[in-house]
Structures are given as structure tokens and as C-alpha cells.
Structure 1
Amino acid sequence: MSAFEALLNRRSYSSVGDDAPKRKELLRLVDAASTLADHKSLRPWRLIELRGDARDRIGEGLAKAEGKKGHDVEKYVRKAHRSPLVIAVVSSPRKGKLPEWEQEAVASGVAHNLSLLLDEAGWGVFWRTGSHTRHKAVAKAHELEPGEKLLGWLHVGSKPVRRRHGRRKPIDPKRFLTRL
């Protein structure tokens, strides 16, 4: 499949199945995803692999960010278990001349490349973000270093057995590509 076809065919799956890529396959895909443009090759990102009970930390951090306790925490933990593999996408800006926004763009690019590669490999993927990605409790749950920022989570699992609904609603590219 060409990159063009991969981009046209990519879809987010709001729910995925119980299987997920093994670590060896994931490492290979992360290696390929890292080949994007990265000014000065700073690699201002990292990914956190969460499987099994490690996913509880996401839910617990989100519940704490919402001020929830007791049984209410379980709801958030269940949401974190919507997929067998969760990959936290972290911006890890490096000191220097490059602005932080440019470094965050690189981290986002790695996540997008990885989602395309996972889709091409036959895995279902959806990216979750939210207002609490920058909350202290969520950062603590992910053991983020000072200065790091959580950009969201890639939820990964087997693709559900359902028909694809064809291509997304097309855009008018002339509205988005302008000339000076």
C-alpha cells in the first residue's frame, strides 16, 4: 500500500478488540515512525507503553483530576481498559534554540506516523486527548519528567469486524491550500 492509499484509507476505531501488537512488532513500528522531519534531530518525544494493570494508572490519574474518589474511580479505570494496549504520547522538549511548539509538533508527528503504521499492520487505533492531559495528577500517574507534556493516548487493539464506511467526507482542497 502506498503512503497515499494509507492516508486515504486510515480510520479511527472508537472501539477495538482484545488483541494487540507484541512488543517486538511495536518497537519496529516506533522505529519507522521516528523518521519524520525533526529539526536538529532532537527527538523531543517519548512513548509510554501501558498494558494490563498499568492502564489503571491512566484511569486513576483522570479520576483524581476530576476530583473523583471511591467507586467513581472505577469508571475512569474501565475507560482506560478500552483497549489492550495504550500508548501515551509525551512531548519531551529539549533546551536550545528550537521553540517548544515545534518540538511538540514533532511528538504529534511521531504519534500520527505510528497510528498510520499500526493501521497498515492491521491494528485498530484511536487517539484520545482531553482537558486533563496537562493536569498534575495525570502527569504524576505517567511519571512525567519536569517540562514533559502528555499529548494524549493511542488506544490499540484488533480491528473490529465491521464494514468500512468508505472514505471520510471529502474536503475541497482549494479551501485549505491558498496562494499568496
Structure 2
Amino acid sequence: MTDTLIDTLLTRRSVVARDLCDPGPNESEVKQILAAGHRVPDHGKIGPWRFIIFQNEARATFGQHLADIFAKENPTCGPKVVEFEKERFTRAPLVIAVISSPIEHKVPQWEQELSSGAVCQNMLLAAKALGYGAQWLTEWYAFNKEVDALLSLKENEKVAGFIYIGNYRQAPQERNRPDLNERVSYWNDSESL
């Protein structure tokens, strides 16, 4: 089991949303992905996140709202750009919005927001473990007040990410990554004197 887990961690790679396709996770697998997201470190046991699931027709309906908002805010954009925005949520069979919902608590808000980020990462790993591709996106619509209202976000809430999940046409290629050795140091007390 450990080898499988470490392999999943070391080979995880985002699959670009436009390369995702049907079939997506079934109901049982969606529950597993959500449960994995729910198992992150959570100082204070407060669960400062929630989920909004987009499947079936809801993806196209939400996409139409995105296109309308984008067109209104960008009146000089052409019809191809509006169509691109309209199709955003139909690229994958499943999109899950992870909503960061920090509360007033002794646990600092920053820790609560980090926990929401961990939710997104666990969901990516769960999708991979189940044999699906996934991508964690934000883009403009994660930071738009009209979209926030459409999602019924409260004043304290933010979109931590939209997790796109589905099968994939082609396995993703490995990408260049920052050199790990350049990002590792060892603290030595004598250096701080």
C-alpha cells in the first residue's frame, strides 16, 4: 500500500481541463473524492470549507452565466471569447468548487485557508488514485463578485479552487519543475549567531 501511495504522490500531474472527457466519476467515486478532501489537517476541527458540485446540465447552465458576466464586463470581446467562457464547465464531466469558509476562531484565518488548499490537493490525489485526471483552477471567475453571488458565497468565503475531474484522452507529459535542491536548506544554530 505504501508504494502505491508514494507512487501516486510522485507521479501526480495535472491534466489540462480541455483534455478531460467522459466518463467522469460515478456517485460512489465522487463521495470518495469528497471524503478524501474532508480528511485534511484541520486545526480546531472546524472544517473551514464546503463544496459545490457541478454535473450534468448544471455545468452548461453555470457556463452560460459565466459567459454573460464576462461579456458584460468585457463589452469589446468577440463572440469566440464569449463562447470560450460559456464552455468552461463543460470541459470536464465533474467540476467541484472548493469554498474556503474561515470562521472567527482561535485558529488563525491563514491556517484555515491553508486547510482549504489541502482539501484541493487531497481531491486531486484521490482523483488520480481512482484513475482520473484532474486540474485545480481558479481563473478570473474565482475572484469575481458576481460569480461569488451566483455561488451564494458569504462575505467571509472565497473560492479556493475549481477541481475539474474526468477521464483523459492522452496521459499528461511530465513538465519541467523547479530544482528541488535549490529549495532545500538545513538550519544550523551556529549560522544564526
Larger radius of gyration: 2
Moved over 6 A (4+): none
Q: CA deviation at 1:171?
A: 4.5
CA distance in 2, matches of 1:12, 1:138: 25
- Matching residue's letter, 2:65: E
Partner residue of 1:173 out of 153, 156, 180 = 180
Instruction: Indicate the residue corresponding to 2:86 in structure 1.
Output: 77
Q: Which moved more, 1:67-76 or 1:46-55?
A: 67-76
Partner residue of 1:45 out of 39, 42, 49 = 49
Question: How many residues align structurally?
Answer: 178
Instruction: Indicate the residue corresponding to 2:20 in structure 1.
Output: 16
Q: Is the 8 A contact 1:16 1:83 kept in 2?
A: yes
Q: Is the 8 A contact 1:86 1:156 kept in 2?
A: yes
Q: CA deviation at 1:152?
A: 2.0
Q: Is the 8 A contact 2:120 2:160 kept in 1?
A: no
Q: Is the 8 A contact 1:59 1:73 kept in 2?
A: no
Q: Is the 8 A contact 2:70 2:82 kept in 1?
A: no
Instruction: Indicate the residue corresponding to 1:3 in structure 2.
Output: 5
Q: Could you list the runs of 5+ residues in structure 1 that have no partner in the other structure?
A: none
Q: Could you list the runs of 5+ residues in structure 2 that have no partner in the other structure?
A: 188-193
- Matching residue's letter, 1:148: E
Instruction: Indicate the residue corresponding to 1:64 in structure 2.
Output: 69
Deviations 1:105-154 (A, max 9, x none): 10110110111111110111111112441211111121222311012211
CA distance in 1, matches of 2:109, 2:64: 28
Partner residue of 1:28 out of 23, 26, 32 = 32
- TM-score if structure 2 supplies the norm length? 0.81
Q: CA deviation at 1:98?
A: 1.8
Q: Is the 8 A contact 1:108 1:151 kept in 2?
A: yes
What is the root-mean-square deviation in Å for CA atoms of aligned residues?
2.3
Q: Is the 8 A contact 1:62 1:138 kept in 2?
A: no
- Matching residue's letter, 1:60: H
CA distance in 2, matches of 1:10, 1:59: 31
CA distance in 2, matches of 1:35, 1:82: 27
Q: CA deviation at 1:73?
A: 4.4
- Matching residue's letter, 2:8: A
Deviations 1:63-106 (A, max 9, x none): 41561579564431212211111111110112112222211110
